[in-house]
Amino acid sequence: MTNLDPLFAFFIMLIACFTAYLINLKYKINYASSRYESVDGLRGCLAISVFVSHASTWYQLIQEGKWFTKSYLYSQLGSTGVAFFFMISSFLFVSKLLNSREKEFNWKAFFISRFFRLAPMYYFSVAIIVLFAMGITHWQLKSGLFEFLHEMFLWGTFTVIRGSSINGFEFTYLINAGVAWSLPFEWLFYFSLPVISLLILKRKPSIFYLLIGFLFIWGFFYLNGINVQHLLSFAGGILGAVLLKYKTIKNAENPVFSILILICLVLIVQFEKSTNIPCKILITIIFIFISSGNTLFGILKSSTLKLLGEISYSTYLLHGIVLFVVFYFGFGLENAKKLSPSEYCQVVFLITPIVVMLSFVGYKCIEKPFMDISKKHFNKN
């Protein structure tokens, strides 16, 4: 078996699901998004698929010194996984707007809850990245205090302005497998919601939130340019929300839709990346069927996948760090290079339960407490 063999991905997913199943036997999680059961199940697959993609890519990095994968399958597991994450975000929050059409939407609660949802785990992961980067550079400031503080500022703003190495360690992005790039797009969508709501809500947002939204959108595009491909992912989620609201797709659990999803998945793997327009259309079709209620022959109803979905944000932020610790600090890149393809796969299989368990701990100890604080605050007001 090699890092490009489809069985590599299959066994990682199997091990991850078994670990989550064992966790689920002892710890029960109150699943917050049960209204969209199939979407919750889908989310459980996504963070693991990104982990699988990066586990495959790490082998190429060790062997050839380049961050890439030779396999369309493993490339798509990462890029399509993130595209689905973007679609889920836009689907969930546009659905909220559609369901609040006659009511006043609490924008203050929305933005604060988003910060409490994303920031604690993100800053925890950044703290680990900073510690590792400083340790690797022997705890000596390479570019001066001002430059270091500037780097901390960039990371503190979710790299919305731009990414940065830390203290001259040019491979800083490898510590977390470069996953922070997607978070600025999440914030772009959140700040776009007041503008989007003009087309949905009867009670329009105040000038304050509209102004903040327009300023953020302008600043984001000015600094980062317009990436149409990722915007199309959010558009796919919005389309899914609208079609579900007006019940456009009847009897979504029909096996015919499940078969169509499988066909689309096979076709997606024929493309190198999800940024290809035909590929994006296929991804959107899959998401529309799933968000309309298709559970892929019942698989997406699994409580195991729901648990993986609940801890997916921690998985997304921590899996790269685990890979980095094992291969950079544990083996050392030179020793890791001596691993045969089969041995490398076995090491990743052993890592997989650790990734899932750490993600669960991150969810229980960091994500959930801050989400609860946010909910309690706004329930009092």
Mean pLDDT (the chain) is 93
Mean pLDDT of the 191-197 span: 97
In which domain, by residue range, is 280 found? 6-23+32-120+173-380
Question: Which residues have CB under 8 Å from 260's CB, separation 6+?
Answer: 285, 289
Number of domains in the chain: 1
pLDDT digits (tens, 9 = 90+) for 122-173: 999 999 999 999 999 999 998 889 999 999 999 999 999 888 899 999 899 9
Domain annotation covers residue 340: yes
Phi, psi angles (nearest 5°) of residue 169: -80, 100
Q: What is the DSSP letter of 328?
A: I
Is 313 within the bounds of a domain?
yes
Residue 293 lies in a domain: yes
Confirm if 181 and 163 have CB atoms less than 8 A apart: yes
CA distance 282 to 278: 6
Q: Which of 380, 374, 376, 381 is nearest to 110 (CA)?
A: 374
What is the pLDDT, as a whole number, of residue 104? 86
User: How many Å is the maximal CA-CA distance in the chain?
Assistant: 63
Q: How far apart are CA 45 and CA 23, in angstroms?
A: 16
HSE at residue 289, side-chain half, CA atoms within 13 A, is 23
User: Is residue 133 a part of any domain in this protein?
Assistant: no
Q: Say if residue 94's pLDDT is above 60.
A: yes
Condensed to tens digits (0 to 9), the pLDDT of residues 34-54 reads: 578 899 999 999 999 999 999
pLDDT greater than 60 at residue 303 = yes
Tokens of 21: 């199943």
Residue 68 lies in a domain: yes
Q: What is the CA radius of gyration of the chain?
A: 21
Q: Which residue has the higher pLDDT, 125 or 379?
A: 125
The Cα–Cα gap between 200 and 25 comes to 42
Q: What is the mean pLDDT of residues 249-272?
A: 93
In a domain, 165, yes or no: no
Identify whether 333 is part of a domain.
Answer: yes
Residue 294: is it exposed, middle or buried by C-beta count within 10 angstroms (0-12/13-18/19+)? buried
Of 20-24, 148-152, 247-251, 344-348, least confident by mean pLDDT is: 247-251
Going by the DSSP 8-state scheme, the letter that residue 169 receives in this structure is B
Whether residue 146 is contained in a domain is answered as no
Pair 54, 78: CB distance under 8 Å:
yes
pTM: 0.95
Bigger pLDDT: 192 or 66?
192
Tokens linked to 245: 């609201």
Give the span between the Cα atoms of 97 and 156, in whole angstroms: 29
Residue in the structure block whose two tokens are 């959108």? 217
Name the one residue in this structure whose structure tokens are 């800053």.
123
Q: What is the spatial distance between Cα 115 and Cα 76, in angstroms, rounded to a whole number? A: 29
Tell me: pLDDT of 230 over 90.
Answer: yes
d(CA 179, CA 316): 7
Q: Is 253 helix (H, G, I), strand (E, B) or coil?
A: coil
